[in-house]
Structure 1
Amino acid sequence: MQNGRVTDTTSAQARKGKDIQGIPWGRLSITRTKYRQTRLEQYKNYENVTNSGEASEKGCKSTEKGGMYYEFWRNTRSAKSTILHFQLRNLVWATSKHDVYLMSNYSVIHWSALTRKKSEVLNVSGHVAPSEKHPGNLQEGFSQTQVSTLTVKDKILVAGGFQGELIFKYLDRPGISFCCRTTYDDNAITNAVEIYNASSGAVHFMASNNDCGVRDYDMEKFQMSRHFHFPWPVNHSSLSPDGKLLVVVGDNPEGILADAHSGKSIHDLHGHLDYSFASAWNPDGRMFATGNQDKTCRVWDARNLSKSLAVLRANLGAIRSIRFTSDGQFMAMAEPADFVHIFDVTRGHEKQQELDFFGEISGMSFSPDTEALFVGVWDRTYGSLLQYKRSRNLSYLDLLP
């Protein structure tokens, strides 16, 4: 801390004992250990199903802690990451080990870990309207959009809003290419968006909504190409790497594995006890994971869905975000606050690394080359962007198959 101002923390400073978030524990009336204990005892997990977090404890996989897969590199205070909805935490996206995009109030900002500079990419505080004309474009645009979810990939940004808004922008072009509203239902929050390349080569994105729908948009034609309906509000969906299967989770303890072309259910996913808000596919195309408010992440094998492969438990609360590295070796699951758990997939989730800090988690993202992990932390005083780099100091035991 300099002149009363909390400063960034580097890995060199952390090794010398400085708190990674710059929290001056020596000047406070409580130690870090005591405060951690208090948080574990007093944090209230949000549940739609009463006592789901307590009931789910039985049957969880016991995992060994102490893995060191990603090392703390830097905490950046100037890249302030924020959230707008306590259940939706997909607001941080890395496009390289140096480049990350995140929501900061009403702005999408780009942070360069290389130049240590940030720039505004999209501002939604005022009126937002498309600069291009397409048949499906809502030319009048939107005003004061509350961004609930975000995704960035291949120079494309898609932001979803609290009233079903969708904003599509090419990062290497000026202006906004596409705006649409999925529905005029005020409760139809856009919960998740995913960009992918279709077999035709065209760029598509898929949006999940509280109105029980999943919609697929063809960005070559700038039109919706498919609209699937499910029996409950959808909180998240994930497309398999080959584009054939779709994991759908929402306001129901059971998830669905569906045909990505027809939307028809293939198999129900039994095991969770509360509503789910996260899902992700391993790049191998066989394994996927779902995160639930019952404080567990379930790992599944698409070839045998009679039961989950593993049930992994959180410390504080719901699993709000799940990510796999592009090589499929590691899976990270984020709680609402304070903890991100990284599991070694190749060792059957037997061992994990636990990232421990303080503050609400707005999102997390591995870089495409697996070299970096970014975690957005929202807090009035210590809000920041945590950056970790892939460890090259794995022990002999960590390298065993």
Structure 2
Amino acid sequence: MAHDLRDDLELVGGDYYFDDDDDFDDGFQTGSGGSSGLQHEQMDDTSASDYKEGKDIQGIPWERLNYSRDQYRKMRLKEYKNYQNLTRSRSGLEQECKQVERKDAFYDFQSSTRAVKSTIVHFQLRNLLWATSKHDVYLVQNYSVMHWSPLLQRGREVLNVAGQLTPTENVKGAGRLSRVQVSTMALEDNLMVAGGFQGELICKYIDKPGVAFCTNLSGNNNSITNAVDIYRAPNGATRVTAANNDCVVRTFDTERYSLLTQFTFPWSVNNTSVCPDGKLMAVLGDSSDCLLTDSQSGKEIARLQGHLDYSFASAWHPDGHVLATGNQDATCRLWDVRNLSESLAVLPGRIGAVRGLRFSPDGRVRRRRAGAGPVRGGGRRRVQPRRGGSVRERRRPDLRRRAGVPAAPVVRVPRLVLLLRCLGLADRRAGL
């Protein structure tokens, strides 16, 4: 039973599912050369009514294949071997993981379309697909960032990086860029920030023409921009951070795009995230440790230990007390930043590394209706951890007090929604 789903799909015929070519025929008219029509004859979208009648969400004709979807999923989970950077023993990891309740539904299926294909050239790339609302999806497609409207069933190009980019803001450090291959991005309100494979950083306001700011952060060909983040500083100002393979985290303002801080770490940085009050920054990278630092001075406040491999993702609960970290060891750990002697909980992923994490805006599970969006950008899964009781306060220094953040008297594991983006290659292609 161990063979690729792609082989079965090629046998039944039809241009429905996979495309490994660099030139995608995606239904978008782009500056880098795209198609001008939505190929519904080939794409064959799935609606909510189709799904209720038994049609597969992605339109895969399981009835014509050798195995059912459930059978193939079981094979995939059984045979998948997670990539490892550190060959540490994982014998006790399963016992440490909490059981995950799967009885609740966090969203209802509305529709899916294969008319929109995002371009993810490496399985370790993250945040190349963003849904800023249920009606707005942003995705990277070759040398373009596209916006897809599920309501209008129409896409438009937001940013084209195939040619030369010239910043509209005449500020220190800005420079021209050309033919940027986007490696990561982030969106907040109207601001979009993108990073590139050669260490590029691009800032653009979606409602304005041109690029506000762009630069090459280091000039080092090995300094890929692994992650970018947009956050509010304690004074309310908007800040942009870039984490790179050159082991440096840089922070810019969004008024004059001045370089405010530049912190160097002993390993390549894969991810940063700043707590809601803007005072603490989580820094994760090619290390099994996660560092909690002061966002303004870069001073290390605490070192979180427990993961067995490199880390790729983090997210803060809206109350600023709980941090979630995602790792190559296929787990997500929850930490109470007021007491870091051990993690609050360890949540298992289903397959592959945990490369993306999100909390719901209020930190609680909410029943949401999912808008139609691209299905080619990597699967997302919502899981609900068990609700935890209070955690006894231990007699040790309050680490948040060092950063001037008041502590609350009681700690509870919050009800939350974690989006675990597990990018196994076959799963990313087939959406399994």
Q: CA separation of 1:345/1:85 partners in 2, compared to 1, >3 Å: closer, same or farther?
A: farther
Mean CA deviation greater in 283-292 or 338-347 = 338-347
1:209 maps onto 2:239 in alignment: no
Match of 2:307 in 1: 272
Mean CA deviation greater in 274-283 or 121-130 = 121-130
Q: CA separation of 1:264/1:120 partners in 2, compared to 1, >3 Å: closer, same or farther?
A: same
Q: CA separation of 1:190/1:11 partners in 2, compared to 1, >3 Å: closer, same or farther?
A: same
Mean CA deviation greater in 222-231 or 235-244 = 222-231
- Letter of the 1:329 counterpart: R
Aligned pairs (5 A) from 1:105-144? 105-138=142-175, 141-144=176-179
Q: Which secondary structure state, in structure 2, belongs to the residue aligned with residue 303 of structure 1? A: coil
Match of 2:288 in 1: 253
Match of 2:109 in 1: 72
Q: In structure 2, what is the Cα distance between the partners aligned to 1:264 and 1:190? A: 22
Q: Which secondary structure state, in structure 1, belongs to the residue aligned with residue 72 of structure 2? A: helix
Structure with max Cα Rg: 2
Q: Which secondary structure state, in structure 2, belongs to the residue aligned with residue 5 of structure 1? A: helix
Match of 2:394 in 1: none
- Letter of the 1:56 counterpart: L
Candidates 356, 362, 367, aligned match of 1:321: 356
Q: CA deviation at 1:79?
A: 2.1
Match of 2:344 in 1: 309
Q: CA deviation at 1:344?
A: 5.4
Q: CA separation of 1:142/1:150 partners in 2, compared to 1, >3 Å: closer, same or farther?
A: same
Q: Is the 8 A contact 2:88 2:308 kept in 1?
A: no
Q: Which secondary structure state, in structure 2, belongs to the residue aligned with residue 151 of structure 1? A: strand
Q: CA deviation at 1:266?
A: 0.5
Deviations 1:86-129 (A, max 9, x none): 21221122222211211122211011122121101111223222
Q: Is the 8 A contact 1:89 1:320 kept in 2?
A: yes
Q: CA separation of 1:346/1:96 partners in 2, compared to 1, >3 Å: closer, same or farther?
A: farther
Q: In structure 1, what is the Cα distance between the partners aligned to 2:380 and 2:211? A: 35
Q: CA separation of 1:118/1:346 partners in 2, compared to 1, >3 Å: closer, same or farther?
A: farther
Q: In structure 2, what is the Cα distance between the partners aligned to 1:53 and 1:73? A: 39
1:46 maps onto 2:83 in alignment: yes
- Letter of the 2:101 counterpart: E
CA RMSD between the two structures: 2.8
Q: CA deviation at 1:283?
A: 0.7
Q: In structure 1, what is the Cα distance between the partners aligned to 2:94 and 2:48? A: 35
Q: In structure 2, what is the Cα distance between the partners aligned to 1:212 and 1:303? A: 27
Q: In structure 1, what is the Cα distance between the partners aligned to 2:223 and 2:142? A: 21
**By percentage of residues, which structure has more strand?**
1
- Letter of the 2:138 counterpart: Y
Q: In structure 2, what is the Cα distance between the partners aligned to 1:157 and 1:360? A: 27
Aligned pairs (5 A) from 1:2-401? 5-50=42-87, 56-138=93-175, 141-330=176-365, 340-343=381-384, 348=413, 360=425, 378-379=428-429
Q: Is the 8 A contact 1:52 1:274 kept in 2?
A: no
Structure 2: runs of 5+ lacking an equivalent:
1-15, 17-38, 367-376, 389-412
Mean CA deviation greater in 73-82 or 213-222 = 73-82
- Letter of the 1:282 counterpart: H
Q: CA deviation at 1:341?
A: 3.2
Q: CA separation of 1:260/1:43 partners in 2, compared to 1, >3 Å: closer, same or farther?
A: same
Q: CA separation of 1:174/1:75 partners in 2, compared to 1, >3 Å: closer, same or farther?
A: same
Greater relative CO, 1 or 2 (CA 8 Å, sep 6+)? 1
Q: CA deviation at 1:7?
A: 1.4
TM-score (norm 1): 0.83
Q: Which secondary structure state, in structure 1, belongs to the residue aligned with residue 146 of structure 2? A: strand
- Letter of the 1:222 counterpart: Y
- Letter of the 2:278 counterpart: G
- Letter of the 1:272 counterpart: H
Q: Is the 8 A contact 1:250 1:275 kept in 2?
A: yes
Q: CA separation of 1:4/1:97 partners in 2, compared to 1, >3 Å: closer, same or farther?
A: closer
Fraction of identical pairs, as percent: 50
- Letter of the 1:82 counterpart: T
TM-score (norm 2): 0.77
Q: In structure 2, what is the Cα distance between the partners aligned to 1:253 and 1:35? A: 32
Q: In structure 2, what is the Cα distance between the partners aligned to 1:352 and 1:239? A: 18
Q: In structure 1, what is the Cα distance between the partners aligned to 2:424 and 2:53? A: 23
Q: Is the 8 A contact 2:48 2:109 kept in 1?
A: yes
Q: CA deviation at 1:337?
A: 5.8
Tell me the number of residue pairs that the alignment of Structure 1 and Structure 2 aligns. Answer: 361
Structure 1: runs of 5+ lacking an equivalent:
362-376, 387-401
